Amino acid sequence: MKHLLVLVAAMLTISATASASSASPPTMKTGVLTVAFGDSAVGFASYTLRGNKVEHPRGYEVDLAKAIAKQLHVPKTSWIYTPWTGLFAPGTKKFDVSFQEATITAERKKTVDFSTSYLNANQGVLISHKAKAPHSIADLKKMQTCAQVDTTGLDWIKTKLHPNKSPLTYQTTAAAFTAVQVNRCDALILDVPIVALQKKSKPGAYGPVAGQIVTHEQYGAVMQKGSKLKPMIDKAITTLTKNGTVAKLQKKWFNLNFSAIPTLK
Dump pLDDT digits (tens) for 114-125: 999 999 999 999
Are the C-beta atoms of 189 and 85 separated by less than 8 Å? no
Q: What pLDDT is attached to residue 2?
A: 42
How far is CA 159 from each of CA 56, 162, 167, 212, 214, rounded to the nearest angstrom?
Answer: 39, 6, 12, 17, 15
Q: What pLDDT is attached to residue 24?
A: 84
Helix axes 230-242, 60-71, angle to 10 degrees: 110
Report the alpha-carbon distance of residue 150 to residue 198 in Å, rounded: 20
Q: What pLDDT is attached to residue 156?
A: 98
What's the pLDDT tens digit per position in 88-147?
999 999 999 999 999 999 999 999 999 999 999 999 999 999 999 999 999 999 999 999
Q: What pLDDT is attached to residue 129?
A: 97
pTM recorded for the entire structure: 0.88
Interacting residues of 115 by C-beta distance below 8 A, sequence separation 6+ = 97, 220, 221, 223, 230, 233, 234, 237
Q: What pLDDT is attached to residue 52?
A: 85
Residues with pLDDT less than 70, the chain? 1-22
